[in-house]
Amino acid sequence: MLDVIFVVCIQNIAKKICMFSKKVVPLRKILSLMAKILIIDDERAIRNTLKDILEFEGYTVEVAENGRVGLEHALSSSFDLIFTDIKMPEMDGMEFLQAYRTKIQEQNGEETPVIMITGHGSVDTAVEALKKGAFDFIQKPLDLNRLLLTTKHAIDHQSLIQETKVLRKKVGKRNQMIGESDAISRVRAIIEKVAPTEARVLITGSNGTGKEVVAHLIHENSHRAKGAMVEVNCAAIPSELIESELFGHMKGSFTGAVKDRAGKFEQADGGTLFLDEIGDMSLSAQTKVLRALQENEITRVGSDKTIKVNVRVIAATNKDLKQEIEKGNFREDLYHRLNVIPIHVPDLKDRKEDIPLLVNHFINLICNEQGWKNKSIHEDAIQALQQHHWPGNIRELRNVIERLIILSGDTITAEDVKLYV
């Protein structure tokens, strides 16, 4: 009886909605981006009515009459959301959910959110469904607003997951160490050994060699990878502001401090703090960093309260810190605290055999980023690039490749290198 009332109510709502379908195009229909939904229900009237409503909202919908047929659909096609009734013949909703998740995990596939629908539900059933991996749980008779909001929420959630994966792939592509030379292979081997540990790392090397890439690779391959990686360019922050930037400040502690603010150490709690160009840090800030490393706690500017922090510190510099210590510009005790694992990133001139791989990598990367057609490059052009001194290292090479892609013809030649490098 409850199912009959539900069908009549939903059908009446659907008729009222469709009365306006020729006059109004819902905003949701424009924004839904043609998400694909699977509805599994043994009641034909229910599944067809839900299909009509969701299709009106702009979604693409497929239906199945029981869990067994639904499972075949779910495994053979890609969906953004699955609705399934719980009480069904042959295979009920709970059995479908368990079988579907097991198959997806065996195939290392991507799970689609599953929303359970039932007219026989209870809080216990809802909890059991959620424990088994359901995204949400709604009961008959369905509230139309609840149905549409839950649908939008589930699809938005799935979209965010996909966007996050895409962004991680893009970041991963940027944070690649390209090359097969002995020099870069040694760096890669150290990264593999040190990343899973909590050891502090001091990365040295000239400007543009890729010290930041090394820091990111260490973080991404550590158990802190799910935590934040917070970067601070010590050379870019005025000495009078570096302490506030690192340790935060309290409202009124100095002119312009209009509210309490957490510093980079607090922001990186549970993750990694990357102190780039640490050789340019003021001595007073160095003292506070040393204390933070020793005690695992910091104090905001203008406060006497200590705050516990759990941070892995990676530092980088283009300076010779031993010389800076002799000049009185860098604390020796801080140097020893940071220099647990030293990693020196070689200059490009010392690994010229990697230039062909780097050139092809940057051509593909830049063309993909800009949406340009990929360009080829002559072997003599690569040889010409290998003759260059590269004082700006990898950064300079990337800029040169972008310049050559823009200014050359379909193929980059040695003449182009002569003209534009």
Domain boundary among 128, 150, 169: 169
118 shares its domain with 14: yes
Domain co-membership, 256 together with 397 = no
CATH code, 30? 3.40.50.2300
Residues 130 and 194 in one domain: no
Residues 310 and 379 in one domain: no
pLDDT value at position 166? 62
One domain for residues 150 and 13: yes
* Residue 29 and residue 156 in one domain: yes
Residue finishing a domain among 169, 198, 225: 169
Question: 302 and 253, same structural domain?
Answer: yes
Residues 130 and 190 in one domain: no
pLDDT of residue 165: 61
Closest CA to 261 of 241, 239, 280, 286: 241
CA distances (Å), origin 413, targets 22, 133, 378, 409: 59, 57, 5, 9
Q: What is the pLDDT of residue 202?
A: 98
Range(s) of the domain holding residue 368: 349-420
174 found inside a domain: no
Which residues in 176-266 belong to E strands, given as ranges?
201-204, 229-233
The reported pLDDT for the residue numbered 380 is 96
Domain of residue 408, CATH code: 1.10.8.60
The candidate with the shortest Cα–Cα distance to 80, out of 111, 48, 52, 57, is 111
Domain boundary among 169, 194, 209: 169
In tens digits, the chain (421 residues) has pLDDT values of 444 444 445 455 444 444 444 444 443 444 445 789 999 998 888 889 899 999 988 899 999 999 999 999 999 988 999 999 988 888 988 899 999 998 888 877 778 999 998 776 566 776 788 888 899 888 888 888 889 999 988 888 877 777 766 665 555 556 689 999 999 999 999 999 999 999 999 999 999 999 999 999 999 999 999 889 999 999 999 888 899 999 999 998 888 888 889 999 999 999 999 999 999 999 999 999 999 999 999 999 999 899 999 999 999 999 999 999 999 999 999 999 999 999 999 999 999 999 999 999 999 999 988 889 899 999 999 999 999 999 999 999 999 999 999 999 999 999 999 999 9
- Count of structural domains, the chain: 3
Per-residue pLDDT, 121: 57
Please tell me whether residues 287 and 303 are part of one structural domain: yes
Residue 175 inside a domain? The answer is: no
**Alpha carbon distance 65, 68 (integer Å):** 9
Q: Are residues 258 and 138 in the same domain?
A: no
Q: Report the pLDDT value the prediction gives residue 171, as an integer from 0 to 100.
A: 55
The residue among 42, 80, 45, 46 whose CA lies nearest residue 61 is 80
Q: What CATH number is associated with residue 245?
A: 3.40.50.300
Same structural domain for residues 389 and 357? yes
Task: List helix spans (H) across 20-92.
Answer: 27-31, 44-56, 67-76
Handedness of CA 239, 241, 245, 247 (dihedral sign): positive
Q: Do 312 and 402 belong together in one domain?
A: no
Our CA angle for 72, 74, 75, nearest 5°, is 65
Q: And the tokens for 141?
A: 């008779």
In a domain, 335, yes or no: yes
